[in-house]
Structure formats: C-alpha cells, structure tokens
Structure 1
Amino acid sequence: MEGYIIREGNRPWWQRLIAALLYTVTFVLLLLFFTNFQFTLDTKMLKGSFGLLEISIFTFFNALAFSVVRDFVFDIENGRFKILYCVGPIELGSWRKLPEIEYVSVFKQLLADGNYVYETNLWYQGNRHMEIYENLDKAMAFEMGREIAKILNVSLLDATVPNNYVWVDVDFQK
C-alpha cells in the first residue's frame, strides 16, 4: 500500500488542559450519579440524579471538542481514503472511495476575529471539496497544496486573492 498521511498535529497545551479538566469533571459526575442513584418515586430526587447525568454528558462532549484531532489517510494504490478522528490512542474512521480529484486549491479564509487562515482543499465533481489542511502561514499551506498536487498528479490553484485565481506550476517529478 502506497499511503500518505496528513496529520493535524497535537492540540495546543491549553486545549489539552481544558479537555483533561472536562474529562475529570465528567468522571466525577458519573461516579456521583452511579454511587448515589436510588430507584425511587420521589421526582425531586430523580431530577437531581439525572441532572448529574445531564451535566456529565454535556462536559464529556465539550471535552471531546477540545481533544479530537482529525487526520487524513490516503491509499492511492487502492483508490481510497479515510478521515481519522483521534482522541489519544483511540482512532475512529472508515475507508471510503477516493473521488476523482480535479485539482487542489489554496485560498484565504476570513476568520470571525478579522484574521485570515489559509486552507488547502481537494476539489472533485465540480464544486464539491474536502478541506484537508489549514494554517496561518501562506507558505505552509502552499507547500502542503504542492505536495498533495504532486501525489495526486493534479493542478494547484492559487485562490488567495478574491476574483484573481492563478494556476500554479507544480513539478510532477517525485
């Protein structure tokens, strides 16, 4: 299998810290729920017990939001790819057929805070795309786009300037 992996990398330390705290709160709340739960007809007591369960579910999903890392794995030889969602050593993802990629693009995306991020996308079936990489550094986004274009033997489009798209020359020799 000739495979390529695009890793999102590790989360920043502060996100891992928040995730660890939220996982700890989830564990403590679940422990309290299961140790204090009693089968009763008293609705006030049941509401209190299930309130702990509700909060633990909420904290668990917030912990996931701060800890999940997304990786792409491409198996060019067999024409398939998978998106892996990783939390520590746990990985979830399934193989899918790799669509016929038309080109790779790099474009500048405005963020809510007024800054920009550069995204690298794979385009297929006309206007459908997969975002596979993003970086604050334009050069890094282009390097990723250039490498992916070489691997897939497709063109690279510079779409960083609105309404002024330029096809970039990619050396297809490995």
Structure 2
Amino acid sequence: MKNNKKSEILISQKKRSWYELVLAAVFYGVFIYLLGIVIYVVYLGIPVVTFIKLLTSLVSVGGFCFGYGLIFSATKDIIINVTDSIIITRYVVGPFSYDVKSKVTTFEYVSFFLDKWGEYATNLWYVKNRHYKMCSFKSKESAYQFCLDLSTKLNIDILDATEKGNFKWIEKDKLK
C-alpha cells in the first residue's frame, strides 16, 4: 500500500510472475490463431452449414482461450481519493486499462473476515450498509495489517469479523 499524496491512497496488486505471463501469451496466441482461421474460412467461401459448425466450435475454444488469457494477465489497482471521496478501481491488461469510479460520502470502517474460499477478505464500509470489496489474503495477520494501515490513513475503525456472530471492534489506541 502506497501513499502517493496526502489525499490519495494507492493499493496495487503485485506484478504477474513470468510463468503467468507466458501462459497468458499462449492463450492469446491460440485466440489470434483461431481468429485467423475464421477469417481465412470466410475468405474461402465454404457452405453456410459447415461455416456455422466451424464458427461455433472456434468461438467456444476462442472464448475459453481469451478468458484464460485475461485471468493470467490482468491486474487490479485501487485508488482511494480521500478529499473527493472517490474509489477508483483500475483493471490493467498490458498497456490497456479500464477505470470504474465509485462515489462515497463518508468512510465508516474497514473489516476483515473469512470468506467461503478460506481466504481472509477485507471490505471498506461506507454509508450505512454499503461496502467495497478490497483484497483477499492467505493469512489473518496480513489481512489485519492491511486493515490497520488503511484505517490509520483514513482515520476509521477496524472490525474483526473472522468468527461468525462474534464481531470485535479493534481499538487502535491500545495497539500504539
């Protein structure tokens, strides 16, 4: 977690490892190859029934390859603008990026909990019962440290919701 300015907090996902990028390149390569086959078949002018059968199989395999290429190459960055109360989620694939902006009135608290996949997830809560899903961690200590850093920068409370039905507010004053 980095603090670029006093008014912005940047939470950046780590860069992809080399083998993930190689797998993404293989999947993208297969997708482009299949796209080339479709263009070539259209150029040849084969019968419509054969073309439709070939196109459905190529679209299903091509969609699979493109989807897994995205899974292995995409990263997610979160920018919290404190002064304007905006959360910007930036999805990045190579040189391309897509921003999703969420307007927030006031930040209330940050919580961490055990999700259904056995990871510790974190949420940033605002406006009564609305929340923003932040990150997931393998260990409780990592999730706790992330929440502690975020709550310190935003000056909000922390909720430990790892045990169902036994939520605990963590007082930051006793930690110092």
TM (normalized to structure 1)? Answer: 0.82
Deviation at 1:41, TM superposition (A): 7.2
The 5 Å alignment of 1:1-174 reads: 2-38=7-43, 40=45, 42-51=47-56, 53-54=58-59, 55-111=61-117, 116-170=118-172
Unmatched tracts of structure 1, length 5 or more: none
Task: Please tell me whether the aligned partners of residues 11 and 78 of structure 2 are also in contact (alpha carbons under 8 angstroms).
Answer: yes
How many angstroms does 1:49 deviate by?
Answer: 4.9
- Structure 1 stretches of 4+ with a deviation exceeding 6 A read none
Deviation of the 1:118 alpha carbon: 0.9
Amino acid at match of 1:84: R
Identity among equivalent pairs (%): 28
> What is the TM-score with the length of structure 2 in the denominator?
0.82
Supply the distance in 1 between the matched residues of 2:130 and 2:83 (Cα, whole angstroms).
23
Kindly tell me the number of residue pairs found equivalent between the two proteins.
167
Counterpart CA distance in 2 for 1:52 and 1:29 is 10
Distance in 2 (CA, whole Å) between partners of 1:99 and 1:136 is: 31
**Which runs of 5 or more structure 2 residues have no equivalent in the other structure?**
none
**Cα-to-partner distance string for 1:73-124 (whole Å, 9 max, x where unaligned):** 111122212111111232110433224221110112232xxxx211111112
Superposed CA RMSD in Å reads 2.3
Q: Provide the C-alpha distance between the structure 2 equivalents of 1:122 and 1:5, rounded to a whole number of angstroms.
A: 14
Q: Would the alpha carbon gap of residues 40 and 89 (structure 1) be closer, same or farther in structure 2, given more than 3 Å must change?
A: closer
Separation (CA, whole Å) in 1 of partners of 2:57 and 2:37: 8
**1:36 and 1:49 in contact (8 A); partners too:** no
Paired residue secondary structure (1:95) = strand
For residues 162 and 150 of structure 2, the distance between their equivalents in structure 1, rounded to whole angstroms, comes to 17
